[in-house]
Structure 1
């Protein structure tokens, strides 16, 4: 099919949902609409407000089409989420992965889940392992689960709502779910032994066109009835897609948002440590990609509310004064899941700019630690919100000693998702960042590491 010119990307992140319009010729964002991705607290458990999101998506597609004439729709979402369907309805709500409910069946799940050597997926808290979610739902809500006919990973749920076609896809199946065996490109032993294999529809490539919009979607949005919709992709892998084949391997993509996720293409999975939130994601071509991560965006928002761009003087005071944040402020995840986050000073004594500087340096040190697990590429490309944090990028360049650059894609995921329709790879290295020029930073970094030892 011809490459659509105006591609609407549905991008559902854990914090915000967006519809972003990408011009496929220029690879530039043309327009965007966004809304908070709220969690509903009533009912069986905390869950995604899928009907509010659907109303937002339909309204946004209609408005963007009116203004720019949408020619194709692509989809990307956060991971660790699935819709359990009973025919053409939800059998139960779409579980919020931060809900601790799956820990209730944690002991039994530990016996059932596959070994790390098979899944390359570590045991994570709450519902961060999608397999743990389904296991808990199957045992806690027995009658509701008995009605389940299909399990749809999250991008494919929205693709189904748009097209009526159900599919599975490897990037969502392969992101710390316990459901996929990356080395053999098949469902894991957990899926077989729990009798879930028949619940998953046919695996389709992320870049396949599932179909065109349903008649009621066309009527509600004004879109042509032949508007094509892709199968969809996990958001971290959407960030990765423009760079595959565009850099000499190994190289590292740092995808940022709620999470900071380091993925080293062409890296070795041998250094992964399941106890430290490192794992293998699966790229759009089904290949394992060594990955390590922490909740960098969430921690930044917690630790530096009202962030202010630090001056050289602010940075000097933080480094000279040994002002440090130490992991982890989000328990159970990241490379230090068992540590309790703390400061070396009372953070209330810091100005907003000084706090921003200290937290930016903390995120760089955490990222360097992650790279010790998933492997350091010849270069690092930063995607998403942290690409706008100059001090973070400068500190990371100083810590790693490799080329660090920032991507031109401000959303971190939308460009990659739009490329599911095809077109030349565009993963240039972007704007390079000079390493932090501060003689005291090396000692500062060593003190941070020493405190953790």
Structure 2
């Protein structure tokens, strides 16, 4: 008997992956592809949309031929802030513009002046001003700079919904894409923001479809359930929401360290926005308050500085163990490390530190992590609220024993866990439409946890 599976397309900026996931949420098949970027009309790099489209069709065709699997459903998760503009025949009208593309200052100012100012729009849409990373601003730009193309746009679909459209032919909007740092959604009124309606772009998004819905579709003679697609950050949170009922914060660590609190629906304040807080959207349509710091990037930069100063290979630091004696030495050496002096800070103090202060590379590295933790806790506390008793850390820092021990010491009133779920984004994307393809309930043991206690406070950190 062929094994029932769901096919998940997980499209990142660099790697495009296809997974087959069985009813027990085991990944039973995986393939990946990387495409050479193309350029837009301004010569700026962007996604090769034609390669992506062909890959979706070809890959799905190939897995449907595999005799050992019975593909029951398909769903999609991709990076956010990217629109595909389609004409009435479903053909793309423009390149898939890069969300890092610089945004004209005068055009940006014209929208905010017209609709009450940056702070007002940011507060109402729960998003900092981020230029092209606010995908709504991309549409505003198209309307103003290329009105003839804008007028030909039948559908403006975020990338996950475009991939779904390729299979179903149905244009839909999804709240996890519309609601994430787009400046399209009014979080207070739970509808498109007034500027979206006033500029007459809301009619181009397709019909709203719940993120956990799917559509029965025939593809190459086989009937499959096709999901509407999700924004990858929201998808990665779903396994945690499926496994834990008690309030928690997930710190997702990578280049950015993002603290996500699905249990905090308090509106963002102007002060929080200035400190890079924003709201993501829960796949069930609730706001997820989030804060972020560029700590993974900072870690890599400073690690190279330490390695160079002490003539050590950077990869050796991955094997360093937490050393309480080093922390104790540092507390005596650097006054602000002591509990009495310690202050959490929006910025890491380490870039300004003189490396000659440290006797060994190990000592310098412990101080780097100590400074990053002070920054991380500052960021975390922006989204913490009463009732949260657990923090989960996934990604690179979750595997860093020094980081995990120091985080547990810094927030002793909260349980701290390193967590891991293999391919969380893909698993979450499958879980979103579990009932459409899987006769089993979602498993409750898909997340591995390692607890870190705060008993090392005896070192007076």
Query: What TM bracket, shorter-length normalisation?
Result: 0.7 to 0.9
Q: Deviations over 1:208-231 (max 9, x none)?
A: 1134254xxx4xxxxx62122201
Partner Cα separation in structure 2 for residue 162 and residue 257 of structure 1: 32
Tell whether the 8 Å contact from 1:10 to 1:18 is kept in structure 2 after alignment. yes
Which position in structure 1 is the counterpart of 2:415?
403
2:172 is paired with a residue whose SS is: coil
Pair 1:188–1:42, CA change in 2 (3 A): closer
Partner Cα separation in structure 1 for residue 60 and residue 372 of structure 2: 36
Q: Deviations over 1:68-92 (max 9, x none)?
A: 5233211111221211222211221
How many angstroms does 1:128 deviate by? 1.6
Which position in structure 1 is the counterpart of 2:109?
107
Tell whether the 8 Å contact from 1:304 to 1:355 is kept in structure 2 after alignment. no
The answer to whether residue 237 in structure 2 is matched with residue 225 in structure 1 is: no
1:184 is paired with a residue whose SS is: coil
- Which of 155, 158, 170 is the aligned partner of 2:175? 170
Which position in structure 2 is the counterpart of 1:309?
318
Q: TM-score, normalised by structure 1?
A: 0.79
Which position in structure 1 is the counterpart of 2:342?
none
Partner Cα separation in structure 2 for residue 413 and residue 183 of structure 1: 28
Partner Cα separation in structure 1 for residue 415 and residue 36 of structure 2: 38
Identify unmatched segments of 5+ residues in structure 2.
305-313, 335-344, 436-440
Map 1:8-407; keep pairs closer than 5 Å: 8-25=7-24, 27-36=25-34, 39-44=37-42, 45-62=44-61, 64-65=63-64, 66=66, 68-69=68-69, 70-87=71-88, 88-103=90-105, 105-112=107-114, 115-124=121-130, 126-212=131-217, 214=219, 218=220, 225-244=222-241, 246-270=243-267, 272=269, 273-304=272-303, 307=315, 308-312=317-321, 320=329, 342-345=351-354, 360-361=369-370, 363-375=372-384, 377-401=388-412, 402-407=414-419
How many angstroms does 1:313 deviate by? 7.4
Which position in structure 2 is the counterpart of 1:451?
none
Partner Cα separation in structure 2 for residue 318 and residue 201 of structure 1: 56
User: How many pairs are equivalent?
Assistant: 418
2:132 is paired with a residue whose SS is: coil
Tell whether the 8 Å contact from 2:77 to 2:230 is kept in structure 1 after alignment. yes
Pair 1:336–1:143, CA change in 2 (3 A): farther
Q: TM-score, normalised by structure 2?
A: 0.78
Partner Cα separation in structure 2 for residue 115 and residue 435 of structure 1: 42
Q: Deviations over 1:256-291 (max 9, x none)?
A: 444332211222425651111112222111111211
Tell whether the 8 Å contact from 2:20 to 2:30 is kept in structure 1 after alignment. yes
Tell whether the 8 Å contact from 2:322 to 2:402 is kept in structure 1 after alignment. no
Pair 1:35–1:266, CA change in 2 (3 A): same
Tell whether the 8 Å contact from 2:216 to 2:226 is kept in structure 1 after alignment. yes
Partner Cα separation in structure 1 for residue 295 and residue 31 of structure 2: 24
Partner Cα separation in structure 2 for residue 59 and residue 385 of structure 1: 33
Max radius of gyration: which structure?
2
How many angstroms does 1:52 deviate by? 2.6
RMSD: 3.5
Which position in structure 2 is the counterpart of 1:412?
424
Which position in structure 1 is the counterpart of 2:448?
430
Pair 1:102–1:259, CA change in 2 (3 A): farther
Identify unmatched segments of 5+ residues in structure 1.
219-223, 325-334, 444-453
Q: Deviations over 1:15-37 (max 9, x none)?
A: 43222222222x22233223447
1:53 is paired with a residue whose SS is: helix
Tell whether the 8 Å contact from 2:268 to 2:278 is kept in structure 1 after alignment. no
How many angstroms does 1:137 deviate by? 2.6
Q: Deviations over 1:317-354 (max 9, x none)?
A: 68856899xxxxxxxxxx959x999342459x999988
1:342 is paired with a residue whose SS is: helix
